[in-house]
Structure 1
Amino acid sequence: MTDTDTGTFDRDTRYISDRITTDVPPGSAPVGAKVGEMTWPVEAGRYHLAGARACPWAHRAIIARALMGLDDVISLGLAGPTHDEHSWTFDLDPGGKDPVLGIERLQEAYFNRVPDYPLGITVPAMVDIPTVAVVTNDFDQLSIDLATQWGAFANEDAPELYADAQRDEIEAINARVYPDLNNGVYQAGFATSQSAYDDAYQRVFATLAWLEEHLANRRYLVGDSITLADIRLYATLVRFDPVYHGHFKCNRQTISSMPVLSAYLRDLYQTPGFGDTTDIDQIKEHYYVVHTNVNPTQIVPHGPELSWLMAPHGREDLP
């Protein structure tokens, strides 16, 4: 929603904030009496991750699931790239129904948990398969819990996405990247005043400049392997040139024109779990068709040319 006085886009961050953790024995009912404050058991085959390749917030959870090797433990449902004011729909599936949940609209799973759910029907959403009810749609905590609570089912070579020793540094980076870049591009794109746009635009490119410097002599944002910090950043960077540069008016420069960030993005894109979960066509269709307040014609551009994402990145020897 946009503040009518300042023209600034303010994201609604109210979610169903239940968690899935190892604190509850497998096969148990959730512990707690209040929706949003309950704890559910880690249990293979019980949950269905409802996402969409178009959405950056859902993309984070999809990548975390892939890197952890949880494909056979948590099933994945993918909504189509466009939706109406009511809900994401499973129009990519035969018959327009999610084959695991048997529903046409994600809204149904929200209503099964909270009748007449009054907030946004968002992805990602972790759904309890037996009850076809949403457990949580808190995108940030959901990814953290995928990284920290499902280790018993993870691949032996799965990266430590949120290691204890790195959490403070990961969250310190997030404290800048989330408001000024991940959400900053939206504040630029949805601004309804020049001053709100100017502020968001400046913060976006100041953050990109800082990242260009931060990553100049290190391969990843934190430590010597991929963490949640990289996943969070990737979902924005890979959408920047095809969407945010033009659609959201963040057009000072492209990621492809930034030597360090373009190489960093290529490195991640070519890593299993990243590029193979990215669908640029769905990304463009979502933004340019759904955001009629920004693009009333709903025309989806053919460009830009993105073959550079598969070019050599040369970052293998960085510390």
Structure 2
Amino acid sequence: MTNTEQSDTSTHSTKGSYVTDGKEFTRDTQYIETRITRDGADGYPVEAGRYRLIAARACPWANRSIIVRRLLGLEDAISLGTPGPTHDKRSWTFDLDPDGRDPVLGIERLQEAFFKRDPDYPRGITVPAIVDTTTGAVVTNNFPQITLDFSTEWKDFHRDGAPDLLPEHLREEIDTVNKRVFTEVNNGVYRCGFAGSQEAYDAAYDRLFTALDWLEERLTTQRYLVGETITEADVRLFTTLVRFDPVYHGHFKCNRNKLTEMPALWGYARDLFQTPGFGDTVDFEQIKQHYYIVHEDINPTGIVPKGPDLSGWTTEHGREALGGKPFGDGTPPEAP
């Protein structure tokens, strides 16, 4: 998400400090809340080709937006810029692109687009972010709203056969599930990894695995989190699960068990991974590089582990027996 994953940003090393001694991790959730909408109420109307999504494949919060953009077929309407997996305390950088610059925006650091919006921008430079290519300024970095707006405000540009990720009759249940998944799982792994005391870590660990046990039970009898098709809820959980064994189990000390040792969750994660739009957005090497190199106060050597063995992600999962179809009456996106 950010080069400053915590609310206390008073002390930083070259790459950033993520643990505050003696304290539990508290995420800074203040984002630029401007929205891109059909009516352009905030000054930014939906317009194909105008906006560029900046989303690092390494980051789980950004990975969500890449998945939803692909599932809905918004690739031609919203271009994609992908920063490299590592960054320093200033900003994500475009070191994967020729000359280290985003080919559309012409910038070396995402920070430049934030400063175009506000020269005194005081918070972390986060992904995903959407930039207005006509001005070069960030429109929003409000990651939970970005994917919701992709589903609702950008409907005129959805591909034929795109899934409904926010079915109206399931919206209340999706919101309820998303709230628990965010607080206990998506953010729960960070509360473990960035805990500044034994007490904070122990409490975070217990909360995380209580929630994972709840999900294991829920997914034993149903194929998807809510309803009979993939929804926003599945996207939000998937990006944490796919990082669990390569990163969170060891690096963040979320080690009661591996994902591969929870049968329903492991089958569910493989089912989604093998669904077009999910696994084809995942880059395990970038994921590991990001966490193990950037979080130098947790992993000061910067050594990136060679494991784990990832071959299991493409094995049979058997989840079809639970019913449901990933795209309902729609169709999968074309191969990337």
Instruction: State if a TM-score over 0.5 links the two structures.
Output: yes
Amino acid across the alignment from 1:268? L
CA distance in 1, matches of 2:182, 2:270: 21
Which runs of no fewer than 5 residues in structure 2 stay unpaired?
1-5, 9-19, 324-336
Residues 1:79 and 2:83 aligned together: yes
CA distance in 2, matches of 1:214, 1:177: 13
Q: Which residue of 1 aligns with 2:233?
A: 229
Kept in 1: contact 2:68–2:150 (CA 8 A): yes
Kept in 2: contact 1:42–1:150 (CA 8 A): yes
Q: Secondary structure of the equivalent of 1:216?
A: coil
Deviations 1:243-268 (A, max 9, x none): 00000000010111111111100000
CA distance in 2, matches of 1:62, 1:311: 24
- The 1:2–1:99 alpha-carbon spacing in structure 2 relative to 1, beyond 3 Å, is closer
Shift of 1:148: 1.1
Query: Which deviates more, 120-129 or 147-156?
Result: 147-156
Q: CA RMSD in A?
A: 1.2
Shift of 1:317: 3.0
Q: Which residue of 1 aligns with 2:326?
A: none
For CA contacts below 8 A with separation 6 or more, give which structure has more relative contact order. Answer: 2
Which runs of no fewer than 5 residues in structure 1 stay unpaired?
25-30, 32-37
Deviations 1:191-237 (A, max 9, x none): 01111000110111111110011011111101111111000000000
CA distance in 1, matches of 2:88, 2:55: 16
CA distance in 2, matches of 1:60, 1:5: 31
Q: Which residue of 2 aligns with 1:149?
A: 153
CA distance in 2, matches of 1:295, 1:166: 42
1:255 to 254, 259, 266: 259
Deviations 1:161-213 (A, max 9, x none): 11221111111111211111100100000001111000110111111110011
CA distance in 2, matches of 1:304, 1:181: 21
Q: Which residue of 1 aligns with 2:143?
A: 139
CA distance in 2, matches of 1:194, 1:278: 32
CA distance in 1, matches of 2:76, 2:199: 48
Kept in 1: contact 2:116–2:138 (CA 8 A): yes
- Aligned pair count? 307
CA distance in 2, matches of 1:291, 1:172: 31
CA distance in 1, matches of 2:120, 2:302: 30
- Output the TM-score relative to the length of structure 1: 0.94
Q: Which residue of 2 aligns with 1:50?
A: 54
CA distance in 2, matches of 1:292, 1:95: 26
Q: Structure 2 matches for 1:1-319, cutoff 5 A?
A: 1=6, 7-24=23-40, 31=41, 38-319=42-323
Query: Which deviates more, 173-182 or 1-10?
Result: 1-10
- Output the TM-score relative to the length of structure 2: 0.89
Amino acid across the alignment from 1:52? A
Percentage of pairs with the same residue: 62
CA distance in 2, matches of 1:295, 1:144: 35
Q: Which runs of at least 4 in structure 1 moved beyond 2 Å after TM superposition?
A: 1-6
CA distance in 1, matches of 2:105, 2:216: 43
